[in-house]
Chains A and B, each alone.
Chain A
Amino acid sequence: MIRFVLADLRRLWAASLVIVLLVALATALGVAVTLQERALRLGSARAADKFDLIVGAPGSETQLVLSSVFLQPAALPLMSGNMLTKLIADPRVDWAAPIGFGDNFQGYPIVGTTTALVSGTTTGFSEGQMFAREGEAVVGSGVDLPVGAEVKPMHGTAGEGGETHADSIYHVVGKLQPTGTAWDRAVLVPIQAVWHIHGLGEDHDHEEAGHDEHGAADHDGEADHDHEAEAHHEGEAGEEHHHHGHIDADAPLDEDFDHEVPGLPAVLVKPKTIADAYALRQAYRTGEGTRAVFPAEVLTGLYATLGDARAVLMYVAYGAQTLVAAALMLIAVIHVAQRRKQIGALRAFGAPRLAVFGIVWLELLLLVAIGVGAGFGMGYGAAEFLAGLFTAQSGVRMPVEFTTADAALAATLLVVAALMAALPAALAYRQSPVEALRG
């Protein structure tokens, strides 16, 4: 029977190919949506893995997580720099590190932070070493810059009319191993350099400098700045107009944040224990001028939305699959009618009715099975492709992988196909051989 079915399909290869393609495309749609959503979820969860607790100024929790964990550019409100001092001193904290953004280089975000964060969130260097001076930088594995390259920070992006800090240059001294997070695309520099470029925290020149928003405004127009003084608006990082300074490239690293720390958009906190994590969140969630979030918790909220989007897309996919199934039924019924003669002849020459049923059923099922198989391949390919695009853009590695749930989906599709193929097969089964031969 198999031989006959195969010979038949070979003879009708063009029509068979079209059917396989139809089934494959309808299947691929659903598979791609499922895989992509799963990849997005797993990828973002893994990217947030090292980020236990984020403390920032009151505002959108989602934005705080997106900006600090996924380095999505946004104007975050600043919280008082004292908080960093407090957090570092807190006995429940293993380590805490500032995250300061605003500048970028060739599309890579430049993030000001400390050695504690770099060693706490990465697996080490693939090349070079940690920054040790103010003018040194460490790049993520996804940054296309060699050790020794020069980085000229630009405020805002070039496309948005950003400006370079012409007199400040970082030298790349190390490249990190890949972590599969957005930070793979970041240029990491000492936080003090970010402050200095923006004219903050130069407390060796000024009293009170960078103490808070107003403190920052205090040193406007000081002699050591080339730029015109402007009011510092509400402490927003990333605004168009701001103060300029320049880095003191050879200045040693100063990571004692026990005095006059400028305002900060976010602080990453590594609590000592899980209990400490909850206690800290409690303390800083309700505290004056701060907000503490677990990125994992914020992501869970986002996943619910993502799940809704997936559900909508899955309904679209189900709709497409239903349409294809209906089209397939039509083709199958017409096909059986067209082959009345052949089917009748099979019966006349002694093929049992069940064999006739089996041939029609098997032919259809085989085509659908090949289509579903190809659809899973195409869906996987599409998801991989999209994940690749996403990774290139964000740095977050997206694991596209099948689970047992997908096997259940494939099995469901095949069972439905098996049931539906039974209809044209039954038509063939019921056909009288005489009527068929008479035509």
Chain B
Amino acid sequence: MLPLALSGVAISFPGLAQPVLSIDDLMVPAGGRLAVTGASGSGKSTFVNLVSGLERPDRGAIRWNGADITTLSESRRDRWRAENVGLVMQDFHLFPGLAAIDNVLLPARLARAATAEMKSRAHELLSRVGLARPEQSVETMSRGEMQRVAVARALLRRPGVLIADEPTASLDAEAGAEVGQLLLELANQEGATLIVVSHDERLTERLDRRIRLADGRIVADTAMGASS
């Protein structure tokens, strides 16, 4: 469970005058649940990339539990992300030809972190997301099922933060609602800080707090009612 603090963060891309994202101050407490909304091009994806350590800002500090990840080298950030961040993406990024269980275990295996305990956790997570056949090959699954595999994969290494980038956007309403529900439940059970980037009102309104981005800046910051 990790608290997040951004201060004076700005990032520009070559050829663009305006910074793509500029956030002076943002705090999310440990176990907090933050929704990020905004039109396309508003900087949402950049926000995800920055807080997950995929990208480094031009300036500013991104502190997770007090440690500034912007000072880490690319390899160190990779390792930090592998150990602390569970990522769920819009288009799943599952690897065809592998069974559900192998997809869940793949990143841990590639990082040589897969233990026997982790394997049994992978099985347990798959059953918790409602998938009964861990050996099923992922390309035979429905999109909703695929995203559940991705959720299980994100949670495997007990990350302190779960970051979901448009997790329901490529699912139909029913599957989207189920996946949204799972994210909330599992983040809660696992005690992970949850950051969800989404257009999906039905998902975002169930989180504690919602910020809206426009042109790379926070234009609205709403505390949501005690729900869920």
**Contact B75 A352, beta carbon cutoff 8 Å:** yes
Residues from chain A with a CB closer than 8 A to the CB of B75 are 352-353
Chain A residues in 8 Å Cβ range of B54: 348, 433-434, 437
Asked whether, in the complex, the Cβ of B98 is within 8 Å of the Cβ of A355, the reply is no
Query: A residues within 8 A CB of B107?
Result: 346, 349-351
How many Å lie between the Cα of A135 and that of B153 in the bound state? 90
List, in ascending order, chain A residues with CB within 8 A of B79's CB. Answer: 352
Bound-state CA distance A350–B52 (Å) is 11
Q: Which of A319-378 touch B at CB < 8 Å?
A: 341-342, 345-353, 355-356, 359
A350: contacting residue among B82, B96, B98, CB under 8 A: B82
**Bound-complex Cα distance A352 to B111 (A):** 6
Q: Which residue, of A11, A347, A437, has the highest number of chain B Cβ atoms within 10 A?
A: A437
Q: Which of B87-95, B121-129, B220-228 contacts A (4 or more CB under 8 A)?
A: B87-95
- Which residues of chain B are within 8 angstroms of A14 by Cβ–Cβ distance? none
Known: A349-B153, A434-B49, A438-B45. A4 touches B110 (CB 8 A): yes
B109 on interface, CB distance cutoff 8 Å: yes
Please name the residue on chain B nearest to A10 by beta carbon: B97
The residues of A that contact B111 with a CB separation of less than 8 Å are 350-352, 355
Query: By the criterion CB–CB under 8 Å, are B110 and A348 in contact?
Result: no
- A3 → chain B, closest Cβ, in Å? 6
Candidates A350, A353, A356, A433; contact of B108 at CB < 8 Å? A350
B78 at the interface (CB under 8 A from A): yes
Which one of A1, A11, A341 contacts B109 once the chains associate, using CB atoms below 8 Å? A1
Interface residues on A, range: 20 to 34
Residues in A with CB closer than 8 Å to B45 are 438
Q: For A346, what are the chain B residues with a Cβ–Cβ distance below 8 Å? A: 106-107, 110
Any chain A CB within 8 A of the CB of B210? Answer: no
B148: interface (CB < 8 Å): no
Task: Check B110–A7 contact: CB distance below 8 A.
Answer: no
The reply to whether B78 and A350 contact each other, CB–CB distance below 8 Å, is yes
Q: How many B residues face the partner with a CB closer than 8 A? A: 29
**B55–A434 CB distance below 8 A:** yes
Whether B95 lies near A348 (C-beta < 8 A) is: no
Determine the chain A residues whose CB is within 8 A of the CB of B109 once the complex forms: 1, 3-4
Smallest Cβ-Cβ distance to A341: which chain B residue: B93
- The 0/1 profile, CB within 8 Å of A marked 1, for residues 106-119 of chain B is 11111100000000
A412-439 contacts to B (CB < 8 Å): 433-434, 437-438
Cβ of B158 within 8 Å of any chain A Cβ, yes or no, is no
Quick check: B87 and A349 within 8 Å, CB to CB?
yes
B166 lies within 8 A of chain A by Cβ: no
List the B side residues contacting A434 at CB < 8 Å: 49, 54-55
Q: Is A308 an interface residue (CB 8 A)?
A: no
Inter-chain CA distance A85–B118, complex, in Å, is 93
Contacts of A7 in B (CB 8 A): 95, 97-98, 102
B81 at the binding interface (Cβ < 8 Å): yes
Tell me whether B89 and A350 are in contact (CB under 8 A): no
From the candidates A348, A352, A356, name the one contacting B87 in the complex (CB within 8 A). Answer: A348
Residue of A nearest to B109 (CB): A1
A49 at the interface (CB under 8 A from B): no
User: Does A8 sit at the interface, judged by CB under 8 A?
Assistant: yes
Q: Which residues of B contact A1 (CB under 8 A)?
A: 109-110
A11 CA to B107 CA in the complex, in Å?
19
Q: List 7 A-B contacts (CB under 8 A).
A: A3-B109, A4-B110, A7-B97, A345-B93, A347-B78, A349-B82, A349-B93
